[in-house]
A and B are shown apart, each in its own frame.
Chain A
């Protein structure tokens, strides 16, 4: 059954919770502005984003003097968008999808391919058709390159994309066989791209092409269907599989509800997914206004990027020079989350995996840099405890209130409460 909607108007803590999950965090004023509103309309409004980008983004990846520089600029531009952009939920979703349809800059070094991929994640962030989203991703030069489907040819199959399409992007392990992987690879032969290869062409735009001469037009059987299946058929069959609804809905729950999701709630979203034939926007709207969502407080350990963006948004989006913002992207990398470069195609597992001695130390150091050092942004008024911890009266409230402005901000930023969303 679908998820039960939240019956009450949002309290201040409800509003803080919603903004921690959907906007990386917020100021006290932004939180108070949502309090008293109806959960459904709040979710609808947050999801009604357009494709407008932050003004005055100082990073232009196309100005990169080398592939490596262009990639760094891409990361900087994305972090800027998350911190200062008009649609934090769109960026949070793009981040989530980048951890689902994973590509990595260890292999994808072409700038327009990376930018095209990011634009797809934004355009489909709350997509009405997961099938269309998957097809667009499958035909994006970034993915074709990352999982080697650009080299998948008739009689010379390369199984890399075909395998991950099932294992990681749609059904998850279980509903398919090794034969499905091989037959899928045959159906995806001939999907490749032209242009934009090599270090000297890293600014040239690559384009998807279907090379009919490299396509294996023979009969295939895939997930129980037989015929002269084509790549489009494989994408349709994989995305329409009933397990895909559960598998991808679980990922949305991990991004928005809990590191260890409640399976009954996942089943509720999966049912909505199947009923709407993969309308992710509808699934999200229901999820983000549900009782289950509002009941799940402090159950997600913020990722390194969420920690940094959350800190900056909670501090009221202070201005930083471009170099500092670039440094923050590499700091997030040392904390375990280098944008656009997860360790493997599975992406970051998240949750408790974010936390170890080294990464915890780095979180403490970042908090100090943002609050205590001479380069820390000026604070006319320290953020409220509600904005920092999500609670109006956190357990450490007495201690925290007795500290002076900057010290209070530092101490609440390194508290377990701030690490959680």
Chain B
């Protein structure tokens, strides 16, 4: 990030703090890249970095009205993002620890069922990974009940085709439907 961009961000952030909504999109664009980079370097995992980056953007823009105009905007934003990454890393670590602790208690009548379910989910995720970006988007949007980029008959057709491809990939990888 060069000097001109840094001073542009400072000026835009000051305007946004005063309530000038015109500055919003540019502030978002200027912050998103460096925050993603920071999160990726701290967490070393793309999915976690994306989660932390999104959360950080929410926190930064939530506090935008409190931004101190006398301070540089980028270090302030990166400090919030860094904190968010650390919080997420700690949370994941804690979850992993509790998961490891919980394994012995799973050894009951449902343990085998649970392991099978987990294996199936992993297999489905692997098959999903073999599909194109478009197919993935359609299937994920269907699963999470989210709005896809298209709707109506086009979406139905795409979904049908994506499911067919997923079925074929699954059969090719694991020999079953």
| Chains A and B are bound partners | no
Residues in A lying within 8 Å of B, measured CB to CB: none
